[in-house]
Amino acid sequence: MRKVMITGGAGFIGLSLARHLLAKPEHGITRLDLVDDFSRAVRDPDLEEVAKDARVEVTSVDLVGQGSLDGFGTDYAQVFHFAAIIGVAHVLERPFDVLRGNIAMLDRVLEFGLQQSALERLVFASTSEVYAGALANFTLPLPTPESAPLAVTDLSHPRTSYMLSKMYGEALCRHSGLPFTILRPHNIYGPRMGMAHVVPELLRKMRDAPSHGRVPVASAGHRRAFCYVADAVEMIARSAWATSCCNEVLNIGNQSAEIEIFELAEAIRSSVGRPDIELVRGAPTSGSPERRCPDMSKAARLTQYEPRVGIHEGLSLTFEWYEERIFSGRQESAG
């Protein structure tokens, strides 16, 4: 008997993880609770398909509220906490809500974890943004290991709110007394990731561009290490079960897939099949670091896994999903 909960379970990574866990008999899952407030996630065919599994229960819960997880029981083995207020628009326009809400949600989850009779692991999704302060103010090693010292950016800047909520969240997990694994995801992409990301944005622009049209590429010279979601959830699942990952911090990403954004745009142009499109280098996005790349040596050693999906394969799979589900106008996308 193994009960598992995923908060933010109807979202991009949360539902991808759920599908992955259900397909692995070795995890022995008898019940999987997907908890979400549906402020960003949508009840789409992907969620409906996962919900058909008799082991799955989807529950709409606002985790900010006191006692929001009362009644779920005290016999969960793993709790994955992915719920958060995210997105550039929210961070810039509602920094107070981001700070207060993200900490409140984690507080509810920690209270819940402390009530469990035999919790094996609390997995907390932090962010690669925790490295932003060190990158802005000091010399940050690149690729960046988890051991890199952290620093905060200007507290008066709204963008600091999300990063600070996650840094504080990491500290709460460390001092909670619960067995934890902290994850710092780096540029995870794939089907159902919403539209407010560089990959689906460029997919749509190139698909819809007129013949021999021009598509601007913002921050064209910046570099990122993109990781396909199937590889990410494999690492996440392994981190939750491996004793070697208990009370550890892990980057989640694909160091070998580091690429310049302009090169990414060229790969997307190929995936969409639009060689006629002219790519135009645009201005850098304000507040966006020139380079972000995780050192994946620790995660590879502890999880015994390295990403397998290359950028061209991942982009093709992503475009196929968006073409069928989103660009044709059939449904909304998850956030």
**Rounded alpha-carbon distances, angstroms, from residue 322 to 48, 117, 154, 287:** 17, 42, 37, 28
pTM over 0.85: yes
Is the pLDDT confidence value at 331 over 70?
no
Residue 1: band (very low, low, confident or very high) from pLDDT cuts 50, 70, 90: confident
- For the domain covering 3-192+226-255+290-309, report its CATH number: 3.40.50.720
Peptide bond into 143 cis (omega under 30): yes
Is the pLDDT confidence value at 257 over 70?
yes
Is the pLDDT confidence value at 332 over 60?
no
Q: Mean pLDDT over all residues of the chain? A: 96
pLDDT of amino acid 334: 58
Domain ranges in the chain are: 3-192+226-255+290-309
pLDDT of amino acid 238: 98
| Neighbouring-strand partners of residue 34 | 6, 58
**240-245 mean pLDDT:** 98
- According to DSSP, the β-strands at 223-225 and 258-260 are antiparallel
- Render pLDDT for 263-299 as a digit per residue (tens, 0 to 9): 999 999 999 999 999 999 998 987 788 999 999 999 9
Q: How far apart are CA 241 and CA 21, in angstroms?
A: 11
Is the pLDDT confidence value at 310 over 60?
yes
Q: How far apart are CA 300 and CA 323, in angstroms?
A: 33
- Render pLDDT for 180-223 as a digit per residue (tens, 0 to 9): 999 999 999 999 999 999 999 999 999 999 999 999 999 999 99
| Neighbouring-strand partners of residue 32 | 4, 56
Percent of the residues in the chain that have a pLDDT greater than 90, as a whole number: 93
Percent of the residues in the chain that have a pLDDT greater than 70, as a whole number: 98
